[in-house]
Amino acid sequence: MFSMIRCYVVFGQIRRHLTGSAFTQLIGQSNLRKSTPADFRKLRELVCTLERFGTLGNDIELTNKEIEVNDVIMYLKMEEYNKGIADPSQFVPGYHIFERLGKIKESRLFFLLSKMPKGGALKAHSRSMCSTDFLIKLTYEKHLWVCTTDNGCRLRSFHFSQEKPTDTRIEGGEWQTMEQLRDYRGEENLNRHLQNAFSMYPMVEKTTSAAAWQHLMKISLLLDGLLRYPPVWGKYFYNALKEFYEDGAQYVEVRTRLKRFYCLDGTKLPVQETVKVYQEHVQRFKEDYPDFIDARIIYSPQRRATVEEVGKFVNMCIELNKEFPKFVVGFDLIGQEDVGDPLLNFAGELQRLPAHIGLYLHAGQTNWYGTHVDENLIDAVLLGTKRIGHAYAITKHPLVLQLVKKLDIAIEVCPVCSQVLQLGADYRNHPAACLIANDIPFVISSGNPSFWRTSPLSHDFYMAFLGIAPMYTDLKFLKRISKNSIKYSSLPDEEKALAMTKWKIKWEKWVDIILKTKDQILAKETDTCPTDA
């Protein structure tokens, strides 16, 4: 009687043996077509079993309760899966997410996943964390001015100020207060306009990844003046933590450029003040929600920079880490990778970072195989990155795949982001399938949920579970990636243990609630699920 773990180890050994030269020789020498049907079946069963045992999550041993919960989850998953096989037009992961956001809301599987404690969100870009509705709420704050062109029809920039801003950089731009614009255009009409201006939804058609990136950057730029004002950023960030928490994240690592904030009279504050506002609201959030673990910052300036500028960013990171050693803990370079310089150019500067400041580099977020951008993956690993953001191109680099596994570097897979930024269309073709098959450590992240009007993590979990992972992948996979998000976080080991305890309490509660409401969840006629963890 083997325990699962023992089985896993033994199967691992057999697998290595079978895929070694003896096995290939055996297959090569004997004429497999002449084997008896029974032998053929046995061999086939062995290979299938070995494949399954090798996938991500199979080291997890489910408790008796979890086995029951797994039945519920797999029932719901198979229902969607089988419908899809019978009629592929019904399969949600075959579509652009914007075309199926409404349908996903009706999915009972999605509902259960949205309540699932997911551990940490290890990649959240600071400006794209809150829902559109909350951003619109912020436009009602006092002292907000807006610059428009085209007779008030196009919103170009926001600014908080006592007096009318004097910035004339936008050609033909006219400043007026938000109240004035609201009166002029009508509240409902203006809010509808803001909904579109703050997110890429519902525009599915983008000719290129570059066009999608331009759209993303335009939104980020529009939000600049609205969010870089400390009292508003405080509200934004606190609410962002709340939205992540309510979606099952108990821990968040934020990638941010830490831009300097401005005051009502136009003076700019030192960057340390930006960090302090973040820190203050994390503290407040932890007091209000004691089972929230923590939030930390990975300093992430734009990668489109000169070597000298990157050198300055590195110095800044070292300085901030000295002042906020438990809060500003890592370094990354962000922005569209295809237009930035290769990491190789910055290697000398990046190597100056002391060992205790971790590198968490975005790399391989490209479709240009064999280019210097694609090779950023190699440099990221050789520079000692602790995780890799996206790594979409990694399956084209078998050696890098082996290295990340050996060096235990986790990949931050962002299913929805890869689709919206036009790297791939159908989730069933997402390269992360290969990571799952090879048991490469990974976590699910979202990137910019605000810009796609998705939830902080749940849509990405849903697409990964239903669209990317094999059909038979079950609760073991979900539990593994949730635990991974703590294991591969930047937290020191002793804090990881505490974090795991906090996650486990929530996880067990979720399991219990599903068990209690199982019959209602499975009753076909119910559209809405009663569970609420």
State the residues that interact with Zn ion by CB under 5 A.
389, 447
**Based on CB atoms, which residue is closest to ligand NOS, 32 or 217?**
217
**Based on CB atoms, which residue is closest to ligand NOS, 9 or 339?**
339
**Based on CB atoms, which residue is closest to Zn ion, 431 or 447?**
447
| Residue 146 touches which member of Zn ion, ligand NOS, none, C-beta under 5-8 Å by kind | none
The backbone torsions φ and ψ at residue 410, rounded to the nearest 5 degrees and listed phi first, read -90, 145
By CB under 6 A, tell whether 135 contacts ligand NOS: no
Sites for ligand NOS among residues 224-263 (CB under 6 A)? none
By CB under 6 A, tell whether 448 contacts ligand NOS: yes
Rounded Cα gap, residues 142 and 177, in angstroms: 9
> Could you say which of 230, 335, 364, 415 contacts ligand NOS (CB under 6 A)?
335
**Based on CB atoms, which residue is closest to ligand NOS, 116 or 129?**
129
Half-sphere exposure at residue 472, Cβ-oriented, CA atoms within 13 angstroms: 11
Stretch that binds ligand NOS, among 97-105, 125-133, 425-433, 484-492 (CB under 6 A): 125-133
Query: Is residue 490 within 8 Å of residue 358, measured between CB atoms?
Result: yes
> Could you say which of 115, 118, 182, 362 contacts ligand NOS (CB under 6 A)?
362
Rounded Cα gap, residues 533 and 527, in angstroms: 18
| Residue 15 touches which member of Zn ion, ligand NOS, none, C-beta under 5-8 Å by kind | none
**Based on CB atoms, which residue is closest to Zn ion, 253 or 294?**
253
# residues near ligand NOS by CB under 6 A: 12
> Could you say which of 15, 77, 96, 127 contacts ligand NOS (CB under 6 A)?
127
Stretch that binds ligand NOS, among 18-26, 124-132, 189-197, 272-280 (CB under 6 A): 124-132
**Based on CB atoms, which residue is closest to Zn ion, 334 or 440?**
334
Query: Is residue 467 within 8 Å of residue 93, measured between CB atoms?
Result: yes
Query: Is residue 333 within 8 Å of residue 304, measured between CB atoms?
Result: no
Residue 29's CB is within 10 A of a number of other CB atoms, namely: 8
* DSSP state letter for 292: -
By CB under 6 A, tell whether 376 contacts ligand NOS: no
**Based on CB atoms, which residue is closest to Zn ion, 124 or 357?**
124
Q: Residue 532 CB, nearest distance to ligand NOS (Å)?
A: 31
Provide the H-helix boundaries in 57-143. Answer: 64-86, 97-106, 108-115, 132-138
Task: Give the chain's end-to-end CA distance (angstroms, integer).
Answer: 36
Stretch that binds ligand NOS, among 120-128, 233-241, 284-292, 425-433 (CB under 6 A): 120-128
Q: Residue 533 CB, nearest distance to ligand NOS (Å)?
A: 29
Which region holds residue 266: left if phi is over 0, alpha if psi is between -120 and 50, else beta? Answer: left
Sites for ligand NOS among residues 187-226 (CB under 6 A)? 217, 220
| Residue 485 touches which member of Zn ion, ligand NOS, none, C-beta under 5-8 Å by kind | none
DSSP string, 206-238: -SSHHHHHHHHHHHHHHHHHHHSSHHHHHHHHH
Query: Is residue 295 within 8 Å of residue 253, measured between CB atoms?
Result: yes
- Residue tagged 């300055």 (tokens): 312
**Based on CB atoms, which residue is closest to Zn ion, 146 or 463?**
463
**Based on CB atoms, which residue is closest to Zn ion, 93 or 447?**
447
**Based on CB atoms, which residue is closest to Zn ion, 230 or 447?**
447
The answer to whether the peptide bond before residue 456 is cis (omega within 30 degrees of 0) is no
Structure tokens at 507: 């996880």
Q: Residue 372 CB, nearest distance to ligand NOS (Å)?
A: 17
| Residue 366 touches which member of Zn ion, ligand NOS, none, C-beta under 5-8 Å by kind | none
SS3 251: strand
Q: Residue 295 CB, nearest distance to ligand NOS (Å)?
A: 17
| Burial letters 46-62, b for 16+ CB under 10 A, else e | eeeebeebbbbbbebeb
How far is residue 364 CA from its own chain's centroid?
Answer: 15
Query: Is residue 455 within 8 Å of residue 414, measured between CB atoms?
Result: no
By CB under 6 A, tell whether 417 contacts ligand NOS: yes
> Could you say which of 93, 447, 449, 467 contacts ligand NOS (CB under 6 A)?
447
Binding site for ligand NOS (CB under 6 A): 125, 127-128, 217, 220, 334-335, 362, 365, 417, 447-448
